[in-house]
C-alpha cells in the first residue's frame, strides 16, 4: 500500500485503540512503585477512547476531519501525564496532515515524527526512558528508513516502526535506573507500542478487535468485581490450620490485588473478586469475622451514559455573580472535599492518584465559574499536565495552574489565599506556602519489588515522603508514626493528619496520641475519607 485515506486511517485507529484497551492492565502492571494506583494504561486507554468516540460521532471518513476530530477528542479526554503526551503526539500529527486527503508513506512518517516532537515541547522537563523516547526514536528511525529506501510500502514502514518501538522500549531500563531496578520497561512507552502494533495489524489484514484474546478475558475477570476486606479472628482450630501461603493461593483463584496481614490470631485480608461471597466462605472456615467491608468496583458504561444524559437534562444553573477569583481543586474523599470547600474552594473535581481527571473535566469546571481569575490546584504530579492543557484551551479567563503535587500542598495554598489581594500577591503567597509543606502518605504494597535498594513485600505498609518510599512496616500505625518522625524537625509547627477510608478511628487516635506525646506542634486532624492512602500527612 502506497497511500492511505481517511477510511483506512479510521480502520487503523480502531485497531490501535482496541489493542491499547485490551492490554491496558498489562500496561498498568508496569508501574514501578508497588502502590495500588498504577494507571498509565487506563489513562492512555481512556484518552484514546475519548478521541475515537468523537471520530465515531462525526461519521466522517475524510482524512483531515478524522485527524482533527481525533486530536480534539484526545486533547479534551486526556488523563494523566501519559494520556496528555499521547494526545500531544496526535495533535502534532494532525497539524502535519493539514488538508491532505491522502498521505504517502513519507508524509505519514513525517507527520508521526512531528507528533513526537510536539509531545516533547509539551513537557517542561522531558525525561528520557519514557513514552517520549519511544515516540521519538521509533518515528525518527522509521522516517530515516523511508527516506533511504524509495518505494517503501505502508506495511514495510510499520514493520520497521513497530520493531524500533519494541527495541526502544526494551532500552528504557538503561535510561531510567528506577525501571532497571524494578525490572520493568516504561509503561507509557509500552502503551504507545500497543497503539502502533494495532495500526500495523490493520494494515496486515488482521485488525485487532476489542475484547478478543484469552489473556484479555481472564484479565477482565480479575480486575472487575468487588473489593472485599475483612478482619478474621482465628478459632482455636483455625490457628493450627491457617497457612498464609495456602490461603493466598486459594484467594488467587477468586480474584487479584491480594493483601494478607497475619498477626497472632487476627488476619486482615483485602482482595478484588467477582464473587465476594466465595471469599467470605473461604475465610469463615478458619474463624469468625470482626469486620467486613465490600465495595463495588465495577464500572458500567451504560451507567456512565445514563449519568451523562441525566446531566444533560439538568436545569441550567442560576447565573453567578461575577467575582475576581475562583478556586478549583482536585481530591478523592468526601471529607477532603468538605475541607477544601471550607477553605474557599469553589469547585472540587473528584479524582486523585487512582482516578486522574481529564482536560475536559477542568474545562467544564472553569466554565461553571464566573470569575476573572481562576486557580487550579491539581494536588498530584500526574494531574498537572491535564490542568495546564485545560488552561491553554480556555479563552476569556485568566486560568492559573499552581503545581500542587499533594493534598497538603493544596490545603496550604487555599489557607493563605486572600480574596481581597491582587493576583500577583495571591499567586506569590500560595506558591510560597506550597514550598514550605512536607507531604507524606501511608499505603500498602501490592507486590514484592525493590525500589531505591529497599526490599518491599506485598502487604507491607509504606511510608512515602514526597515521592520516595522511605520505610516499610507491617502495621499502618507504626508506619505513620515513623514517617512523622522522618518529616518533623525543630522548625516544625503544624502537622496535618488526614484519615483515609481504611484507617479506623482507633488507629487515627493512636497516631494523634503519638504526635501529642512527642512533638510540641499544632495538630489539624481531619477525616479525609481518601481511598488507597491510610494516612496523608502534611508538616509545616
Highest mean pLDDT of the ranges 218-227, 244-253, 412-421: 412-421
Task: Indicate if the pLDDT at residue 303 is higher than 50.
Answer: no
Residue given cell 467486613 in the structure block: 292
Task: Indicate if the pLDDT at residue 252 is higher than 50.
Answer: yes
What integer is the mean pLDDT of 221-238? 72
pLDDT digits (tens, 9 = 90+) for 397-440: 999 999 999 999 999 999 999 999 999 999 999 999 999 999 99
Which pLDDT does position 278 carry in this prediction?
Answer: 77
Reduced to 3 states, what is the DSSP secondary structure of residue 398? strand
Angle between helices 187-203 and 6-22 (to 10 degrees): 140
| 288, 294, 479, 515 from 505: Cα distances, Å | 22, 19, 16, 15
Q: Are strands 266-273 and 226-234 parallel, antiparallel or unpaired?
A: antiparallel
Q: Which of the pair, 365 or 285, is modelled with greater confidence?
A: 365
pLDDT digits (tens, 9 = 90+) for 344-401: 999 999 887 667 899 999 999 999 999 999 999 999 999 999 999 999 999 889 999 9
Inter-residue contact 411 to 495 (CB < 8 Å): no
Q: For residues 119 and 189, what is the distance between their CA atoms, to the nearest angstrom?
A: 13
**Window from 220-229, 261-270, 335-344, 526-535 with minimum mean pLDDT:** 220-229
Q: For residues 474 and 287, what is the distance between their CA atoms, to the nearest angstrom?
A: 22
Which pLDDT does position 304 carry in this prediction?
Answer: 41
Task: Indicate if the pLDDT at residue 513 is higher than 70.
Answer: yes
Question: CB within 8 A of 220, min separation 6: which ones?
Answer: 211
What integer is the mean pLDDT of 100-128? 94
**Window from 176-180, 408-412, 477-481, 507-511 with minimum mean pLDDT:** 176-180
Q: Which three cell numbers stand for residue 263?
A: 498477626
Question: pLDDT-derived band of residue 219, with 50, 70 and 90 as boundaries?
Answer: very low
- How many residues are there in the chain? 540
Question: pLDDT-derived band of residue 250, with 50, 70 and 90 as boundaries?
Answer: confident
Residue 386: phi and psi, rounded to 5, are -65, -40
The dihedral over CA atoms of 463, 469, 475, 478, expressed in degrees to the nearest 10, equals -40
If one counts every other C-beta atom within 10 angstroms of the C-beta of residue 331, the result is 28
Mean pLDDT of the chain, nearest integer: 87
Q: For residues 113 and 138, what is the distance between their CA atoms, to the nearest angstrom?
A: 9
Task: Indicate if the pLDDT at residue 217 is higher than 90.
Answer: no
Q: For residues 189 and 458, what is the distance between their CA atoms, to the nearest angstrom?
A: 26
Inter-residue contact 170 to 125 (CB < 8 Å): no
Task: Indicate if the pLDDT at residue 449 is higher than 50.
Answer: yes
Residue given cell 515522603 in the structure block: 465
Task: Indicate if the pLDDT at residue 296 is higher than 70.
Answer: no
Handedness of CA 492, 467, 340, 393 (dihedral sign): positive
**Window from 203-212, 252-261, 416-425 with minimum mean pLDDT:** 252-261
Q: Are strands 371-377 and 323-331 parallel, antiparallel or unpaired?
A: parallel
Q: For residues 166 and 531, what is the distance between their CA atoms, to the nearest angstrom?
A: 35
Q: Which three cell numbers stand for residue 384?
A: 498537572
Reduced to 3 states, what is the DSSP secondary structure of residue 165? helix
Which string of DSSP letters, residue by residue, matches 417-441?
A: --TTS-HHHHHHHHHHHHHT-EEEE
Classify residue 520 as exposed, middle or buried by CB count within 10 Å of its CB (0-12, 13-18, 19+).
exposed
Which pLDDT does position 253 carry in this prediction?
Answer: 77
Which pLDDT does position 255 carry in this prediction?
Answer: 76
Task: Indicate if the pLDDT at residue 10 is higher than 50.
Answer: yes
Q: For residues 161 and 164, what is the distance between their CA atoms, to the nearest angstrom?
A: 5
Can you list the alpha helix ranges (DSSP code H) found in 30-153?
Answer: 40-58, 63-77, 80-97, 105-122, 131-148
Question: pLDDT-derived band of residue 101, with 50, 70 and 90 as boundaries?
Answer: very high
Distance of CA 304 to the CA centre of its chain: 19
Instruction: Calculate what percentage of the chain has a pLDDT beyond 90.
Output: 65
Q: For residues 169 and 399, what is the distance between their CA atoms, to the nearest angstrom?
A: 36
Which pLDDT does position 311 carry in this prediction?
Answer: 47
Q: Which three cell numbers stand for residue 353?
A: 492518584
Instruction: Calculate what percentage of the chain has a pLDDT beyond 70.
Output: 91
pLDDT digits (tens, 9 = 90+) for 184-206: 899 999 999 999 999 999 999 99
Reduced to 3 states, what is the DSSP secondary structure of residue 394? coil
- pTM, whole model, 2 decimals? 0.77
Amino acid at each position: 500500500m502506497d497511500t492511505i485515506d481517511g477510511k483506512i486511517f479510521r480502520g487503523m485507529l480502531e485497531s490501535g485503540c482496541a489493542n491499547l484497551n485490551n492490554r491496558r492492565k498489562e500496561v498498568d502492571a508496569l508501574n514501578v512503585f508497588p502502590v495500588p494506583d498504577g494507571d498509565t494504561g487506563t489513562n492512555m486507554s481512556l484518552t484514546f477512547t475519548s478521541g475515537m468516540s468523537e471520530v465515531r460521532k462525526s461519521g466522517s471518513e475524510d482524512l483531515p476531519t478524522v485527524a482533527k476530530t481525533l486530536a480534539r477528542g484526545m486533547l479534551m479526554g486526556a488523563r494523566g501525564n501519559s494520556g496528555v503526551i499521547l494526545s500531544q503526539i496526535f495533535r502534532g500529527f494532525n497539524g502535519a496532515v493539514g488538508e491532505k486527503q491522502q498521505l504517502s508513506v513519507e508524509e505519514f512518517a513525517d507527520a508521526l515524527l512531528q507528533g513526537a516532537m510536539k509531545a516533547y515541547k509539551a513537557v517542561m522537563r522531558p525525561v528520557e526512558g519514557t513514552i517520549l523516547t519511544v515516540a521519538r526514536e521509533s518515528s525518527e528511525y522509521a522516517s530515516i528508513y523511508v527516506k533511504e529506501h524509495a518505494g517503501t510500502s505502508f506495511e514495510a514502514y510499520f514493520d520497521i516502526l513497530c520493531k524500533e518501538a519494541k527495541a526502544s522500549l526494551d532500552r528504557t531500563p538503561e535510561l531510567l535506573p528506577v525501571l532497571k531496578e524494578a525490572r520493568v520497561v516504561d509503561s507509557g512507552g509500552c502503551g504507545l507500542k500497543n497503539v502502533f502494533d494495532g495500526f500495523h495489524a490493520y494494515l496486515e489484514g488482521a485488525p485487532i478487535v476489542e475484547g478478543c484474546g484469552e489473556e484479555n478475558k481472564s484479565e477482565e475477570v480479575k480486575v472487575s468485581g468487588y473489593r472485599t476486606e475483612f478482619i478474621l479472628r482465628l478459632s482455636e482450630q483455625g490457628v493450627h490450620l491457617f497457612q498464609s501461603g495456602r490461603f493466598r493461593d486459594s484467594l488467587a483463584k477468586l480474584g487479584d490485588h491480594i493483601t494478607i496481614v497475619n498477626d497472632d490470631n487476627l488476619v486482615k485480608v483485602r482482595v478484588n473478586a467477582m464473587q465476594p461471597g466465595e471469599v467470605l466462605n473461604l475465610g469463615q472456615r478458619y474463624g469468625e469475622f470482626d469486620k467486613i467491608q465490600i465495595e463495588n468496583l465495577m464500572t458500567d458504561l451504560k451507567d456512565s451514559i445514563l449519568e451523562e444524559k441525566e446531566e444533560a437534562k439538568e436545569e441550567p444553573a442560576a447565573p453567578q455573580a461575577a467575582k475576581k477569583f475562583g478556586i478549583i481543586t482536585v481530591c478523592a474523599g468526601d471529607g477532603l472535599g468538605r475541607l477544601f470547600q471550607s477553605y474557599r474552594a469553589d469547585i472540587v473535581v473528584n479524582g486523585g492518584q487512582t482516578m486522574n481527571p481529564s482536560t475536559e473535566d477542568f474545562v467544564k469546571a472553569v466554565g461553571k465559574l464566573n470569575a476573572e481569575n481562576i486557580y487550579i490546584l491539581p494536588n498530584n504530579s500526574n494531574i498537572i499536565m491535564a490542568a495546564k492543557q485545560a488552561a491553554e484551551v480556555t479563552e476569556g479567563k485568566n486560568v492559573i495552574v499552581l503545581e500542587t503535587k499533594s493534598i497538603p500542598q493544596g490545603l496550604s495554598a487555599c489557607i493563605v489565599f486572600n480574596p481581597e489581594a491582587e493576583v500577583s500577591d495571591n499567586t506569590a503567597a500560595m506558591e510560597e506556602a506550597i514550598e514550605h509543606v512536607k507531604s507524606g502518605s501511608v499505603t500498602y504494597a501490592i507486590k514484592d519489588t525493590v525500589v531505591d535498594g529497599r526490599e518491599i513485600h506485598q502487604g507491607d505498609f509504606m511510608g512515602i515522603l514526597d515521592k520516595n518510599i522511605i520505610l516499610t512496616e507491617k502495621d499502618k500505625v507504626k508506619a505513620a508514626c515513623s514517617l512523622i518522625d522522618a518529616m518533623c524537625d525543630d522548625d516544625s509547627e503544624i502537622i496535618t493528619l488526614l484519615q483515609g477510608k481504611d484507617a479506623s478511628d482507633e488507629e487515627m487516635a493512636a497516631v494523634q496520641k503519638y504526635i501529642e506525646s512527642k512533638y510540641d506542634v499544632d495538630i489539624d486532624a481531619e477525616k479525609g475519607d481518601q481511598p488507597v492512602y491510610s494516612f496523608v500527612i502534611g508538616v509545616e
